Amino acid sequence: MSKEELKKVSDSKISKKLKKGEAIFKEGEKLDGVFCVRDGVSKLSKLSENGKNQIVRLASKGEVMGQRAVIAEESTNLSAIAVSDMEVCFIPKEIISNTLDTNPNFAVEVLRHMAHDLREADDVIVNMSQKTVKQRMAEAFLYLRKNYGEDEDGFLTLSLSREDYSNVVGTATESCIRIISEFKKKGFIKTSGKKIGIADERKLLDLIDGF
Amino acid sequence: MSKEELKKVSDSKISKKLKKGEAIFKEGEKLDGVFCVRDGVSKLSKLSENGKNQIVRLASKGEVMGQRAVIAEESTNLSAIAVSDMEVCFIPKEIISNTLDTNPNFAVEVLRHMAHDLREADDVIVNMSQKTVKQRMAEAFLYLRKNYGEDEDGFLTLSLSREDYSNVVGTATESCIRIISEFKKKGFIKTSGKKIGIADERKLLDLIDGF
DNA sequence: TAATAAACCTGACAATTGTCATATATTTAA
DNA sequence: TTAAATATATGACAATTGTCAGGTTTATTA
């Protein structure tokens, strides 16, 4: 079964709609299959011992959630919560494991995908440990524009709450808010209500590079 | 080809010896295959834009390095440098890709392994972003004991330089040294020359849990 | 062995980030 | 619509962490 075939399977399934804030699955659960995002965006996060929440990655259209746990036959280490209204479909693990066992191409394709995820995770580790909160905030804005685009007025299509931002960059919500204020004052970004737009990409890039 | 068979292949290869400090490969290189650690330990690290080095993980006996890049057909995102004298063997990428294409079991096995690495990477992300430097230092000591053991006097078998420690936990070398001094003064660890041993596991665990 | 280099250590201080308290704005629900 | 809940914002301060500038010790090598 190729990726395209799998997509067909997934398209034929009845998909589930979720409202912003609803959970698709929670950390520690056993998953009976994987979830494929048809529309909207989900945050994949993990609770640390001290009660703080860390958003490890975001998943949007076409991306699959839960495959790591299903493949490793473990309970999931992450929670998936909708950050916008969503439509997801479910693919039972039996289909996954059957296809894995019988079709080497599929396995290799999944493998490539996971190799890619792993590289991204490595990059996140380096960013988290070597960059300042301001630099991480700047990267978050650029990442969101690159991956989810902006509207006709130049505001990010995917709007996260301040708390979500703080959970992405790994900082206190207050610090996050302060940095947003500072960036706005300096003209790096613009805001309108809770919408945020990039006003000066160059300045953000300079900040990331340490200038 | 099963994992055991692969091991046989690798064992039959002429292996290469490396002295502490030598590089197996460097960030950005194209790899013609993967490296299997037969003896010793290697650090897998990445340079961030600001010139700081981050150790993403350590690889020891039986572990494979470079598979992510070979599978994704990308240049490697990490450097591998020996932190002790080492013996590694090389498996050409042709063998890997042939085996991947023809043997679904092998692909699934590699997949499981990569799923495991990905989970660990997620955990590292959370640790890096949500824990203090002291907590991360405490975790590093416990991790090193768990994975590489201690000698008859209770000192960690794998002894890293202070700079390596700082690159593992993502902090300045001076901060790292100060924390080592503090832990020693408080009786959490003991030192002898550059050797470090765990003196009070309970206290370290309490610190990690925020007490 | 002596000279040199590298690693380790410490103090002083600055910069960054977190915490707590509180105020305002916005959203949600009764 | 009004009340309650939630999200956003800011000040004041403390705690953490980084930087620079020296030291000392340990390892390397000429």
Give the pair of three-digit tokens for residue B106: 């092998």
Closest nucleotide C1' to the C-alpha of B130: C18
Please state the separation of Cα B94 from the chain's center in Å: 26
pLDDT at A201: 97
Record the tokens describing residue A149, joined without a space: 């685009």
Query: Which pLDDT band holds residue B193 (cuts at 50, 70, 90)?
Result: confident
The predicted pLDDT at position B7 comes to 61
For residue B132, what are the CA distances in angstroms to A78, B173, B179? 22, 15, 11
**pLDDT of amino acid B63:** 93
Return the pLDDT at B86.
Answer: 94
User: Which residues get their CB within 7 angstroms of nucleic chain D?
Assistant: A 161-163, 173-174, 177-178, 180-181, 191, 194; B 132-134, 170-172, 174-175, 193-194
> What is the ipTM, given to two decimal places?
0.89
Measured CA to CA, the distance from residue B104 to residue A101 in angstroms comes to: 6
pLDDT at site B161: 97
Contact A72 B169 (CB under 8 A): no
- Neighbour-count burial of B153, counting CB atoms closer than 10 A to its CB (0-12 exposed, 13-18 middle, 19+ buried): exposed
- DSSP SS3 for B81: strand
Candidates A56, A169, A209; nearest CB to B49: A209
Tell me the CA distances in angstroms from A118 to A7, B13, B73, one per residue in order.
23, 28, 14
Looking at this protein, which amino acid is placed at residue A76?
A: T
- Report, as an integer, the average pLDDT of B33-56: 92
DSSP one-letter code for B156? B
pLDDT of amino acid A48: 84
**Dihedral pair phi/psi, residue B199, rounded to 5°:** -105, -30
Mean pLDDT of chain A: 91
Q: Which residues of chain B lie closer than 8 angstroms to A129, CB-CB?
A: 54, 128, 169-170
Residues of A in contact with B74 (CB under 8 A): 119
Say how many Å lie between the first and final Cα of chain B, rounded: 50
Cβ of B112 and A72 within 8 Å? yes
Query: In this complex, is the C-beta atom of A170 within 8 Å of any C-beta atom belonging to chain B?
Result: yes
- Which band of pLDDT confidence, cut at 50, 70 and 90, is reported for residue B168? very high
Question: Which pLDDT value is given to residue A25?
Answer: 96
Q: How many CB atoms lie within 10 A of CB B126?
A: 24
What would the mean pLDDT of B61-78 be, rounded to a whole number?
95
Q: What are the distances in angstroms from CA A209 to CA A126, B49, B74?
A: 14, 7, 24
Query: Among A189-203, B13-27, B144-158, which is the least confidently predicted range?
Result: B13-27
Q: Is 80 exceeded by the pLDDT of residue B78?
A: yes
Using one digit for the tens of pLDDT, what is the confidence trace for B80-101? 999 999 999 999 999 999 888 8
Å between CA of B38 and C1' of D30: 35
A60-83 in b/e burial notation, b at 16+ Cβ within 10 A? beebbbbbbbbbbeeebbbbbbbb
Q: What residues pair up with A92 in beta bridges, in sequence order? A: A33
Contacts 24+ apart (CB under 8 A), B142-148: B142/B198, B142/B201, B142/B204, B142/B205, B142/B208, B145/B198, B147/B58, B147/B60, B148/B41, B148/B60
Residues 7-66 of chain B with CB under 8 A from chain A are 46, 48-50, 52, 54, 56
Q: Nearest Cα to B142, choosing from B99, B61, B204?
A: B204
The CA distance from A160 to A180, in Å, is 13
For D20, which residue's CA is nearest its C1'? B174
Residues of chain A with pLDDT > 70, as a percent, come to 94
Task: Determine contact, residues B102/B64, Cβ cutoff 8 Å.
Answer: no
Closest residue in chain B to residue A170, using alpha carbons only:
B129
Interval A94-149: pLDDT, tens: 999 988 888 878 888 899 999 999 999 999 999 999 999 999 999 999 999 999 99
Chain A touched by B123 (CB under 8 Å): yes
pLDDT at B8 over 70: no
Distance of CA B172 to the CA centre of its chain: 19
Residue B153 forms contact with A (CB below 8 Å): no
